[in-house]
Chain A
Amino acid sequence: MPSEPTLTERVSKLPTGIQGFDFVTEGGLPRGRTTLVAGTAGSAKTIFAIQFLAEGILKSGERGVFVTFEETPDDLRRNMISFGWPIAQWEREGKWLFVDVSMHANSDEKVVGTYDFGGLIVRIEHAIRRIRAQRVSLDSLGAIFSRMHQPDLVRSELLRIAAALKQMNVTSVLTAERTEEYGAISRNGVEEFVADNVIILRNVLDDEKRRRTIEVLKYRGTSHQKGEYPFTVTPDKGAVIIPLSAIELKQRSSDLRISSGNAELDKLCGGGFFRDSIVLVSGATGTGKTLLTTEFLAGGVKNGERCLLFAFEESREQLFRNATGWGIDFDRMETEGKLRVHCAYPETASLEDHLITIKDLVDEFKPNRVAFDSLSALERVGTIKSFREFVIGVTSFIKHQEIAGLFTATTPTLTGGASVTEAHISTLTDSIILLRYVEMNGEMRRALTVLKMRGSMHNKDICEFSIDEQGMHIGRPFRNVIGILAGNPHMAAPNEMERLDELFRTQ
């Protein structure tokens, strides 16, 4: 009687080692099978195919065969060295083998009568046996179709190749061209013939900005994460996939308090920030966000913690000079190894690249506190959608580290209002502090209020504060002003105040 397949008979997966990919695919590529990787021109198909083999060599000691239909091995060796993949060296060490079927190699062939791909199959099998390869990449199908003008023949021969690869129990990647980002899976309609598994790489132009995504379209007989995930190609790592919706909300939260670096603010917050929390500071330009950030970092260093600052608005010199102006010595903190300041102009990289830099630096420096000044400066780098993904990516990453995070957001108008950043981030943060300008009697004053403090009582007053060479001083609440948060402050007449007092006086 037929029995249910045991666990080992079911589709098992081969961890590829491509960052983020194994998460999105819930374990990697289906072992012993062929996966079609389809994408338009410039969607990083070849990089993916190469990286699949490279990570095998680097991370799990698995050898690979690369069958190239398009670019010559020489071109590939040269182009891939910038990713830190020494293909020529791996070839010498017997870890990598090319099967060269590039146009260049067979440019002068004439066709008389019918034929099959017997030569190719024999060479692939021979190469796999020679180095006992576990991984095979074939790049790309489009080149064979454009060379061999018999699509039916190509299809049936590809089926033979896929069968041969399966029989040899190698895990393989086959790339194919697409003509449009949202349309037929591949130009030549081969997917239903050759692959049980289809992955789509996209490189969409949206609002004048390029956005790369990866989607697992089908994984026969096994599970995977659904939908498109952003990814990027970085010079030192190759493709890095950013698994967003896959992030679990499993971080612990502690009720340990840490100082905000400002005793008066600590008091307003009911005894300081929580250690594993994210604080959003929102305010117009010049309201004191950078000051609050600086005090937050200095408070950490004073407490013996390691602090990391990502600055997207001001240069190093400016930041250090500002800090000095408030009596804080960033230079000394950095020399002592307690502080690291990373300045970058938002436009120097894509949001995905920024996210990777942030993760790398946090992993390397292992801070107890991390601050971003300002997060909203990055709004203009990507589309709203990718910015949203970026914010979610950053917040969840910080939360997983179980460290304290502080983000600042610049409001679009001087008197307040909400920025895009706030719209995306406010539900993800544990605390929100608003800084606002208040115009009173022809004078600009500053107000601060703790809007939200998850899991704690806090002071609900809107307090006036001032800034001097010792930093921020929080004073008394504004008593007879209403409409501050709406950005439309006005004095309430004294008799009106009395009337309100009467109204709520306990009987």
Chain B
Amino acid sequence: MNPMETLQLVLYVTDDTPRSAEAIANLKQVQRLYRGQCEVTVIDILEHPELAEREKIFATPTLVKVHPPPLRRIVGDLSDQTQLLKSLDMGSGYLSSSTNQPV
């Protein structure tokens, strides 16, 4: 993908669980890697259940990559960064500070 394009992510959580906090923290790290090229919206579905229904959220946390296409949905607390980046179509080469982990 074009490195200059801004990554738009939406994270659906239920506010009251440790997993939600974990997922938010893990996303913050990704944001740092992308140096501001990554927008994250966090939605608490306890407050907005109609959005959970609209997006057909089953598990929480669920991360949805809205832009750029293709649309991706990732379920879990995002604790494995390599896996996460792969799932977002971000190769390790894209990162400035390579994690040097085998993919």
A binds B: yes
- Write the residues of chain A forming the contact surface with B, with a CB cutoff of 8 angstroms: 99-101, 105-106, 108-120, 122-123, 125-127, 148
| Chain B residues near A120 (CB-CB < 8 A) | 57-59
From B50, B59, B71, give the contact of A116 (CB < 8 A): B59
The yes or no answer to B9 lying at the interface (CB within 8 A) is no
List the 5 shortest-distance A-B pairs measured between CB atoms, nearest first: A118-B60, A119-B57, A113-B76, A126-B49, A113-B79
Report whether B84 and A112 are in contact in the complex, using a CB–CB cutoff of 8 Å: yes
User: 0/1 per residue, B44-85, Cβ < 8 Å to A?
Assistant: 011001101100111111100000000111111111100110
Contact: A119 with B73, CB < 8 Å? no
Is the CB–CB distance between B19 and A119 below 8 Å? no
- Rounded to whole Å, the gap between the CB of B32 and the closest CB of chain A is 18
The 5 sampled A-B contact pairs (Cβ below 8 Å) are A114-B76, A115-B76, A116-B19, A117-B60, A119-B62
- Give the Cβ gap from A193 to chain B, nearest Cβ, in Å: 19
Contact B14 A122 (CB under 8 A): yes
In contact, A117 and B53 (Cβ under 8 angstroms)? no
> CB of B87 within 8 A of chain A?
yes
Q: Is the CB of B14 within 8 A of A118?
A: yes
A114–B80 Cα gap in the complex (Å)? 10
New A-B pairs, 10, CB < 8 Å, besides A115-B62, A122-B46, A122-B57: A101-B58, A109-B73, A109-B74, A110-B87, A111-B74, A112-B77, A112-B79, A115-B61, A115-B77, A120-B58
Most buried by A among B61, B72, B79: B61
Partner of B56 from the list A101, A112, A125 (CB cut-off 8 Å) is A101
CA distance A112 to B14 in the complex (A): 17
**Is there contact, CB below 8 Å, between B58 and A111?**
no
**B contacts with A, residue count (CB < 8 A):** 34
Q: In the bound complex, what is the Cα–Cα distance between A116 and B57 (angstroms)?
A: 11
Residue from A105, A112, A123, A127 within 8 A of B78 (CB atoms):
A112
The docked-state distance in angstroms from the alpha carbon of A108 to that of B73 is: 7
Cross-chain contact B53 with A127 (CB below 8 angstroms): yes
User: Do A113 and B62 contact each other (CB < 8 Å), given the known contacts A106-B73, A122-B49?
Assistant: no
Rounded to whole angstroms, the CA-CA distance of A126 and B48 in the bound complex is 9
- Chain A residues, Cβ within 8 Å of B19: 114-116
Interface residues of B (CB under 8 A from A): 12-14, 17, 19, 22-23, 26, 45-46, 49-50, 52-53, 56-62, 71-80, 83-84, 87
**In the complex the two chains form, what is the Cα distance from A225 to B64 in whole Å?**
50
Point out the residues of chain A lying under 8 angstroms from B83, CB to CB. 112
* Interface of chain B: mostly helix, strand, loop or mixed: mixed
Smallest CB separation, A397 vs chain B (Å): 47
Q: Which residues of A contact B75 (CB under 8 A)?
A: 109-112, 115
Q: Which chain B residues lie closer than 8 Å to A114 at the CB level?
A: 19, 76-77, 79
Given contact pairs A122-B49, A123-B53, A112 touches B76 in the complex (Cβ within 8 A):
yes
Q: Are the CB atoms of A119 and B87 closer together than 8 Å?
A: no
Q: Report the minimum CB–CB distance from B46 to chain A (whole Å).
A: 6
Q: How far is the CA of A148 from the CA of B76 in the complex (A)?
A: 12
Q: Which of B13, B56, B60, B78 is the one whose CB lies under 8 Å from A106? A: B56
Residues of B within 8 A of A111 (CB): 74-76
A117 and B58 contact, CB distance less than 8 A: yes
Q: A148 to nearest B CB, angstroms?
A: 8
* Cα A118 to Cα B62 with chains together (Å): 10
* Closest-CB distance, A163 to chain B (whole angstroms): 15
Asked whether, in the complex, the Cβ of A126 is within 8 Å of the Cβ of B56, the reply is: no
> Which one of B12, B45, B46, B74 lies within 8 Å of A110 (CB-CB)?
B74
A125 to B45, CA, bound (A): 11
Contact: A126 with B76, CB < 8 Å? no
| Closest-CB distance, A161 to chain B (whole angstroms) | 12
A111 to B79, CA, bound (A): 10
Q: Which of B12, B49, B56, B77 contacts A113 (CB 8 A)?
A: B77
Residues of chain A lying within 8 A (CB to CB) of residue B59: 109, 115-120, 148
Give the CA-CA distance A112 to B79 in the complex, in Å. Answer: 7
Determine the distance from Cα of A118 to Cα of B46 in the docked complex, in whole angstroms: 9
Q: Which of B23, B52, B78 contacts A126 (CB 8 A)?
A: B52
**Bound-state Cα–Cα, A126 to B62, Å:** 18
B60 touches A116 (CB 8 A): yes
CB neighbours (8 Å) of A126 from chain B are 49-50, 52-53
Q: Do residues B72 and A108 form an inter-chain contact, with CB atoms below 8 A? A: yes
CA–CA, A115 and B79, complex, Å: 11
Q: Do B78 and A113 touch (CB < 8 A)?
A: yes
Do residues B72 and A119 form an inter-chain contact, with CB atoms below 8 A? no
> Please, which residue of chain B has its CB at the minimum distance from the CB of A126?
B49
Closest to A104 in B: B56
CA distance A286 to B57 in the complex (A): 71
Question: In the complex, which residue of chain A has the Cβ closest to the Cβ of B44?
Answer: A122
> Which chain B residue has the least Cβ–Cβ distance from A157?
B59
Could you say which residues of chain B place their CB within 8 Å of the CB of A105?
56, 58
CA distance A125 to B76 in the complex (A): 22
Residues on B with C-beta less than 8 A from A106 are: 56, 58, 73
Closest CB in chain A relative to B77 CB, distance in Å: 4
Q: Which residues of the other chain, B, contact A118 by a CB distance below 8 angstroms?
A: 13-14, 17, 45, 59-60
Residue in A110, A111, A125 whose Cβ sees the most chain B Cβ within 10 Å: A110
